[in-house]
Amino acid sequence: MKKIKTIVLLIVAIALLGSAYAWFFVWNKPQQNVKSATPIPVQATTLFNEYSTNEKTANAKYIDKIVEVSGTVSSISKNSEGKTVVLLKTDDLMFGVNCTMEENTELKEGETVSLKGICTGYLTDVVLIRCYKTK
């Protein structure tokens, strides 16, 4: 009976430690300050071509890093959360660099812009989140 109590207490202690770790280091992880961070500068066409050529190498270079991407606005839309999503043109006619804006910014299709955000990878478009207009 004493052995069962010890095992149960050990399991409960491990569960509590795992929950504490998840709470402090996963769910409440401090966010990067995108506005003040020094970004990796890149053209939209270059970023897209690097991902479409070799996603693994591009991920090593850009994933979870702050990138300042420059290019021409192809389209502007709203996502399900009501945030503005800007698609920057690339050499590919169908896909580009998809930037979800953190703030509402006056942008127009055809305008050349620089946007700074966190690169989250490649899903037919290169995806940047928490973006801000820099120029």
pLDDT of residue 27: 65
pLDDT score, position 60: 96
Instruction: Indicate whether 8 pLDDT > 80.
Output: yes
What Cα–Cα distance (Å) separates residue 122 from each residue in 59, 67, 103?
A: 8, 14, 23
DSSP H or E segment with residue 77: strand 66-78
Percent of the chain at pLDDT exceeding 90: 64
Lowest mean pLDDT among 48-52, 72-76, 95-99, 105-109: 105-109
Rounded to two decimals, the pTM is 0.77
**Dist CA 108 CA 87 (whole Å):** 11
Span 33-48, average pLDDT: 92
The tens digit of pLDDT for each residue in 11-31 reads 988 988 888 777 776 666 666
Q: What average pLDDT does the segment 101-107 reach?
A: 88
* Whole-number pLDDT of residue 31: 67
pLDDT value of residue 30: 61
Task: Please give the single-letter amino acid code of residue 33.
Answer: N
- What is the rounded CA–CA span in Å between residue 57 and residue 14? 37
Mean pLDDT is lowest, of 4-18, 48-62, 102-116, for 4-18
Residue 75 has pLDDT above 80, yes or no: yes
Exposure string of 18-55, with b = 16+ CB inside 10 Å and e = fewer, is: eeeeeeeeeeeeeeeebeeeebeebebbbbbbbbbeee
Looking at residue 5, its pLDDT comes to 86
